[in-house]
């Protein structure tokens, strides 16, 4: 347990040490101050380092922690170091034979912001909203903590404010008034919804008759914290009570307009649901439950089953998606609108390539919409295409491949 600090344990640990390095991410440095007080009151001379060697703000990445440890060792155990054989991340920039700047100039590498995982079912939700807003106009979007917060980054750039976990709908209420010139949309995940969003957000919206659309991103888990089950998870859990639909919960506290989209990859359905909610005549809070299973957890669930079948010599079916040159117009829609992370914009035309993905972009069966806008590009970096072609070549129109392994 890191807090509250047990004084006797800290003193016993530190009194035989020359110096101690405390790795405490974020500010204020509560634990560092607490331990300083404990050691000084006990008259323990051990030197305590923390924010003086480590970043005061930002994420403690392996590189930043390694640099802090290096400075700590230099101060109190320099004889232990081999300065000629330090990790690459702590060497001067010119002393990294395998560093990126030494191989490719920064002017030639296009930066790519953090984004959704490959095959994430949340990506098409924000694609659908961007398309719907072409007809409904822009809205103030109150974001929330969770994987879906990646929507604030390019190419979506959706999200004006973020208050805290489960507070997307509560935050939206502050921006909905007769004086505003645009509507308000709130986002929250299923984890945040059950954490406090149902009461602080939806319940208050019902009580105050707030005309706000709340989108609950239901990926069946508390995905951002490791994939734990929540009340609405579809999994069978012998220790917990699951399978309690979010739509039933919001209707139970008074929401009149609520809809569940059970497959977010159907972008056309998501788009039309957004348009209906944003242009309908029903007053009061509205809720869209955007429901598709987290791809990472689905892989964790399905991979052992597939491995078992392969070992038993049974038939295994895998979905594969690729470029259809008869559909693709080369307008880069899947990058500009959907933020596909597999094909950077490039002028090299690739006419025949098949890519193995989990569910990248939109599956082929949503062809009515895909054919109009969101199929994969047929333009990509040449070296990417060469790797893919060297690995697999399949028929362009084939959307499924049955493999016997």
CB atoms within 10 A of CB 363: 16
Q: If you average pLDDT over residues 366-379, what whole number do you get?
A: 37
- CA distances 192 to 126, 214, 233, 250, Å, are 18, 12, 13, 14
| Contact by Cβ (8 Å): 370, 341 | no
Q: Is the pLDDT of residue 348 over 50?
A: no
CB atoms within 10 A of CB 198: 21
Q: If you average pLDDT over residues 343-371, what whole number do you get?
A: 38
Q: Sorting pLDDT into bands at 50, 70 and 90, what band is 357?
A: very low
Return contacts of 325-333, CB within 8 angstroms, 24+ apart. Answer: 325/351, 325/352, 325/378, 325/396, 327/370, 327/371, 327/375, 328/375, 328/376, 328/377, 328/378, 330/377, 330/378, 330/379, 332/377, 332/379, 333/373, 333/374
- Token pair belonging to 191: 């984890």
Position 374 scores a pLDDT of: 36
Q: How far apart are CA 172 and CA 187, in angstroms?
A: 9
- Greater confidence (90 vs 201) lies with 201
**Every domain of the chain and the residues it spans:** 7-108, 123-295, 315-403
pLDDT 10s digits, 278-313? 998 888 899 999 999 988 888 888 899 999 999 999
pLDDT 10s digits, 331-342? 777 777 777 765
Burial readout 281-307 (b: 16 or more C-beta within 10 A, e: otherwise) = eeeebbbbbbbbbbbbbbbeeeeeeee
Position 286 scores a pLDDT of: 95
Q: Sorting pLDDT into bands at 50, 70 and 90, what band is 360?
A: very low
Give the angle 374-380-383 at the CA atoms, nearest 5°: 150
Q: Is the pLDDT of residue 367 over 70?
A: no
The share of the chain scoring above pLDDT 70, in percent, equals: 78
Q: Which CATH class is domain 123-295?
A: alpha beta
Residue-level length of the chain:
405
């Amino acid at each position: 347990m890191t807090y509250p600090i047990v004084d006797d344990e800290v003193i016993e640990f530190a009194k035989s040490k020359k110096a101690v390095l405390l790795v405490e991410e974020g500010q204020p440095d509560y634990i560092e101050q607490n331990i300083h007080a404990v050691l000084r009151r006990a008259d323990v001379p051990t030197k305590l380092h923390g924010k003086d060697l480590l970043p005061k703000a930002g994420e403690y990445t392996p590189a930043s922690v390694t640099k802090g440890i290096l400075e700590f060792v230099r101060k109190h155990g320099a004889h232990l170091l081999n300065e000629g054989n330090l990790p690459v991340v702590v060497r001067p920039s010119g002393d990294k034979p395998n560093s990126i700047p030494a191989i490719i100039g920064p002017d030639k590498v296009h930066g790519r912001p953090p984004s959704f995982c490959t095959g994430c079912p949340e990506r098409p939700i924000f694609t659908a909203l961007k398309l719907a807003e072409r007809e409904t106009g822009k809205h103030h979007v109150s974001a929330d903590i969770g994987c879906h917060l990646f929507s604030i980054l390019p190419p979506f750039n959706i999200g004006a404010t973020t208050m805290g976990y489960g507070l997307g709908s509560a935050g939206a209420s502050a921006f909905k008034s007769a004086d505003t010139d645009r509507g308000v949309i709130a986002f929250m995940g299923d984890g945040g919804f059950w954490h406090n969003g149902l009461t602080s957000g939806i319940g208050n919206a019902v009580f105050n008759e707030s005309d706000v659309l709340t989108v609950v991103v239901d990926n069946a888990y508390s995905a951002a914290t490791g994939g734990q089950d929540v009340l609405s998870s579809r999994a069978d859990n012998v220790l917990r009570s699951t399978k309690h639909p979010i739509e039933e919960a919001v209707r139970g506290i008074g929401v009149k307009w609520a809809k569940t989209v059970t497959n977010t990859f159907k972008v056309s359905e998501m788009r039309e649901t957004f348009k209906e909610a944003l242009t309908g005549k029903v007053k009061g809070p509205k809720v869209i439950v955007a429901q598709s299973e987290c791809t990472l957890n689905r892989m964790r669930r399905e991979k052992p089953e597939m491995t078992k079948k392969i070992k038993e010599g049974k038939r295994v079916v895998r979905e594969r998606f690729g470029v259809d040159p008869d559909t693709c117009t080369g307008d880069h829609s899947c990058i500009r609108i959907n933020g596909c992370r597999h094909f950077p914009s490039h002028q090299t035309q690739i006419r025949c390539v098949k890519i193995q993905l989990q569910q990248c972009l939109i599956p082929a069966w949503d062809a009515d919409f895909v054919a109009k806008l969101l199929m994969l590009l047929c333009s990509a970096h040449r070296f990417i295409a060469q790797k893919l072609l060297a690995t697999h070549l399949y028929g362009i129109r084939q959307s499924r491949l049955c493999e016997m392994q």
